Amino acid sequence: MRDDDRRTAFEALLREHRKIVLKVAAVYARGVEDRRDLGQEIALQLWRSFGSYQPERPFSTWMYRVALNVGISHARRERERPQALDASLLDTLGGGSPIDEPDERLRALATAIDALGPLDRALMLLYLDELPYAQIAAVLGIGESNVGTRIARLKQRLRRDMTEAASP
């Protein structure tokens, strides 16, 4: 494939699946600027790694792997647990546009994500994106049965956290 064709193919795939980049950046970044930087970092790494993508396999699996690897490494570099979903996503839109939906659901999501380590965040992101267990297993590199067990434990933990938060 010629370089131009390769770039065109990559840009088309990135456009089609760009929400993966946006969501991973939202889950692992610490603020507006950080989220933007992480999104660019992921896009750049996707382009650099594009040579390793095998077209006969699902692009989304490959993309989730690269994006999550960059996101997790970014969060590790921060040395602290990253704060999920920055204020711009919770309170206001860029440029001060009015919010067109209530924040409670996003806040509940942010609280749930905040309580998780980088690997559990990846699992939760994939689960909430409704990927089949087989694809989650392929992205994370664990067995399908392990995916089921981990998701069950994650739900259990979140339920416990929510109950504790709700109790006076």
CA separation for the pair 106, 55 (Å, rounded): 35
DSSP 50: G
Give yes or no for residue 75 binding another protein (CB under 8 A).
no
Site for another protein in 80-119 (CB under 8 A): 85, 88-89, 93-94, 97, 100-101, 105-110, 112, 117, 119
Pattern 8-27, another protein, x by CB under 8 A: ---x--x---xx-xxx--x-
Closest CB to another protein among 30 and 158? 158
Q: Whose CA is closest to 29, among 110, 95, 138?
A: 110
- On the 0-12 / 13-18 / 19+ scale of CB atoms within 10 A, 89 is middle
Supply 57's token pair.
């396999």
- Cα–chain center distance at 80: 17
Q: Which residues bind another protein (CB under 8 A)?
A: 11, 14, 18-19, 21-23, 26, 37-45, 48-49, 52-53, 62, 65-66, 68-70, 72-74, 76-77, 79, 85, 88-89, 93-94, 97, 100-101, 105-110, 112, 117, 119, 122, 128-129, 138-143, 145-146, 149-150, 155, 158-159, 162
